[in-house]
Structures are given as C-alpha cells and as structure tokens.
Amino acid sequence: MKIAFIFPGQGAQYIGMGKELYDNFNIVKNIFDKTDEILIENFVNLVFNGNDEDIKKTENTQPAILMVSTAISQLLMSEGIMPTMTAGLSLGEYSALVAANSISYEDALPLVRKRGQLMNEAVPSGKGAMAAVLGLAEDKLLLCCEEASEHGTVSIANYNCPGQLVLSGDRSAVEKASELAKKAGAKRVVPLPVSGPFHSPLLKPAGDALAELLKNIGIKTPQVPVVSNVSAKPSGCVEEIRELLAKQVSNSVRWEDCIRYMIAQGVDTFLELGPGKALSGFLRKIDNTVNTYNVEDLASLENVLGLLKGV
C-alpha cells in the first residue's frame, strides 16, 4: 500500500473544526496552542467559537485550515501512518510541505496569513469573480474564455476533476464566459462566494510580493515528494519550490493532473486531512478504483486507524 496525504484549500473551513481531536489528543492540542503563541492572539477560540464571517476572512481561513490539517497529519504520523507523497489544493500545498518537513509550521503559519492578505489586496473588492463550470469540456470552456476576453481577463483557475472546472478573472469577463459556457452545453455554472479572482493572472502582483517573502523562509528538501499545483509533479529543488509557490497564486491549479501523477507512481490510498470531503469527491471522479478516506473528526480518525494502522 502506498499512501498519499492530500490537504484541502480555502472554502472547506467551518466553525468548530478540529475541536474533537483537540479535546482528545495532546499532539493536536499542542499544535493548536502553538498557533496562538505564533500569531500572538486567541486564534483557536476564533476557530472554535467565532462566527462564519470571521472564519471566512482569507487572513483567518488560511492559517485555520493549515492548523487543522497539520495537527491531523502529525497525529496520523504519530500513529505510524506515513505518507509516500503529499499534495494540497492551493492553500493545502503549504500543509503538504509542512507534512513533508520541507517548511516548518512556525514559518508556514504567518506566511499563509500574509499570503491571504496579499491575495485579498491584489484586486479591489467586487472587481473579480470565480465560477464553477460543471459538465463542459476544457477545450470548449477555453473558447468561451477567449470570446469573453474582450470584457476583461478570464481563465480556467482550477482543473479539479472530470466535469468540474473553475473560471476566475474580472467579474464582467467571468459573467460573460459563464453565459457562453451555458450556451455551449455546461450542465451548471455556479458563481463562487469568494473575495477575489484567485489563481488568475490578476493576482500576479500578490505572487510577486509573496516571492519576496519566500526568500526569507527556510525551505528544505522534502522528506517525501510534494506534488506542485502548478507543474503537477514534485519540485526538483528548494529554489523551484519557492518559485512554484509564488506562481501558484496566479496560475491554474492542476489538481486532476496532480492526482493522476500520484496514481501513476503507485499511490493506491489517499487520505484527505482537514475540514470537508471535497477532495475525496474529486478523487472518486478522477479514479474510483483507488482507496479514498478523509480525517477531520474523531469518527473519521477512528475509521482510518482501524483500517490502516500497522499496514
């Protein structure tokens, strides 16, 4: 059995995530408590007892999901369940790098908070938009983007799985491309409740600023391969990791290709670690022959430990 740890991105968050595990495992409690120390605020209380508006703020969402995902990966590894590869969707790539001992949690936490702020500040509020397009082939959606480009920037931001692509860019251009996608045969087009046009060229200024921050982050060669969102393969060296993380905020997330790469390398079991089950859903559409489990609370943890411990 070859196991990959995969980590969710922004949008999976909810109030109270990780609370059961915090209450039952010291290794989880220690990471949550360390988060309060690093951020110098009562951040864990916000995650457990805050409101939806607070947890949806990008500068809170990103460190919150990193915290929960990292705690769960550390817990599983302490139980003897080790990954042969890691990957994460967008923000989740930082959780993957921490799990692979490439970036320390102490460095990653303030970095993703700043990343969230930079992404929010890159485009004025209301100017950008994103929309999920269901049931339309990539080539047809690219033609829609090309036709809609006279209204502004629009491109495919996420290649999540067969039948699910995501548009991102200027609001007017995304709306036009969405309209064209429906005419071209898309089953559904769903506007996404996001604060900006993530993973579009409009966020290049955020990526450039992030590149400067990454110069001061200690990054080591990962102990297991970490598959990059941008290249859909493991980074070759530390400098390439820095370069790809900076590009990631304005480049397409090639998630389906990431999963197919790992399967081609022999991975047959995927563990989604952190809030939600979105990645597990994508996986079943990409290849329903592999084993897919999520761990986000006590019940899902006990299920995975029962199935995999000692394997």
Catalytic residues: 90, 199
CB count, 10 Å around CB of 120? 16
Q: For residue 253, what are its two tokens?
A: 């997330």
Token pair in block for residue 45: 């209380």
d(CA 243, CA 246): 5
For residue 273, what is the DSSP state?
A: E
- E strands along 32-96, which residues? 85-88
Sign of the alpha-carbon torsion through 303, 305, 310, 311: positive
**For the chain, what percentages of helix, strand and coil (3-state, to nearest 5) are there?**
50, 15, 30
For residue 9, give the amino acid letter.
Answer: G
- Residue that has been written with the tokens 């082939």 in this structure: 137
Enter the tokens of residue 157. Answer: 């931001």
* Radius of gyration from C-alpha coordinates of the chain: 19
Q: How do 188-191 and 164-170 pair as beta strands?
A: unpaired
* Angle at alpha carbon of residue 187, lines to 181 and 193, rounded to 5°: 75
User: In b/e form, how buried is each residue of 47-66, taking b as 16+ CB within 10 angstroms?
Assistant: beebeeeebbbbbbbbbbbb
Maximum Cα–Cα distance for the chain, whole Å? 57
Whole-number Å distance between alpha carbons of 79 and 107: 25
The whole-angstrom separation of Cα 182 and Cα 136 is: 9
